[in-house]
Amino acid sequence: MKKIGIVGTGNMGRVIGLALANKGYEVFFGARDLSKAKFASEFDNQTKSGTNQQAAAFGDIIYYSPRDIHPKKVLDNLSVLDGKIVIESGNWDISDQLDAEEIKISKTEILQQQLPNSKVVKAFNTILQEVFEYSIKDLKSYNIACFIASDFLDAKSEVSDLSSDLGFTTIDCGTVKQAVLLEQMGSLIRILVRVNKNPWLSFSLTDLPEIKDLHFGGRTASALHGKTEYLENR
């Protein structure tokens, strides 16, 4: 089983680490405040805890949660992340008036620039921490989407396996450039929680069976939408 290093054991780091430990992954919780890493590791005595640097060195795959904090401020030696997959789930703040911030460059793309020798993957940002409380059987039956984006196909494949192991349906959304869209979805889910006063929500994508015998004329050429390459490539 792959080793997982959690850099920044807050809410998401703790639940993702514990869910992976439940599935048999080796997990090391790291934090700047050692008591927070220890708190997480006490839920599963197979896990370890210590500093962020130790977690980064331990993991083959790193979950990095200190949002908007340059890794050089979190770790003493960044070279331990070279060649490794670094997952991040950063979302944006929502104002009291429910205004979402305009996103020009994603948090994923910034982290990839800060860690040019690592393979940064956006994942889990539309999945609220509460959702990890469900059993894997329930998660599969709810068909909860884990949207991912990265420039590295091999990294996406590994994160896809990891997300499937946790019970999610992985949806590959393309390169790191598409992480902007996932962060907008992150803003949307946060707004939905506030509007509905309910954190037990999630996104699903339904793969529908194709209808061959179309009754309403199908897609015709459109000056508005340009080509329908996806149909031509089927």
Ligand X SMILES: NC(=O)c1ccc[n+]([C@@H]2O[C@H](COP(=O)([O-])OP(=O)(O)OC[C@H]3O[C@@H](n4cnc5c(N)ncnc54)[C@H](OP(=O)(O)O)[C@@H]3O)[C@@H](O)[C@H]2O)c1
Q: Is 207 exposed, middle or buried (0-12, 13-18, 19+ CB in 10 A)?
A: exposed
**Residue at shortest CB range from ligand X:** 10
Which residue ranges make up the site for ligand X (CB under 6 A)? Answer: 8-13, 31-33, 36, 65-67, 69, 73-74, 89-91, 125, 128-129
Nearest CB to ligand X, comparing residues 26 and 130: 130
Joined together, the tokens standing for residue 41 give 């590791």
What DSSP character marks residue 100? B
Nearest CB to ligand X, comparing residues 118 and 187: 187
| Helix, strand, coil percentages for the chain (3-state, nearest 5) | 40, 15, 45
Give the 3-state secondary structure of residue 204: coil
Report the nearest approach of ligand X to the CB of residue 111 (Å). 11
Report the nearest approach of ligand X to the CB of residue 181 (Å). 15
Report the nearest approach of ligand X to the CB of residue 231 (Å). 34
Joined together, the tokens standing for residue 147 give 């949207």
Report the nearest approach of ligand X to the CB of residue 96 (Å). 17
Nearest CB to ligand X, comparing residues 197 and 212: 197
Q: Are 53 and 79 in contact (CB under 8 A)?
A: no
Nearest CB to ligand X, comparing residues 11 and 135: 11
Which one, of 57, 35, 38, 56, lies nearest residue 47 by Cα?
38
State the chain's maximal CA–CA distance in angstroms. 63
Report the nearest approach of ligand X to the CB of residue 224 (Å). 35
Nearest CB to ligand X, comparing residues 131 and 234: 131
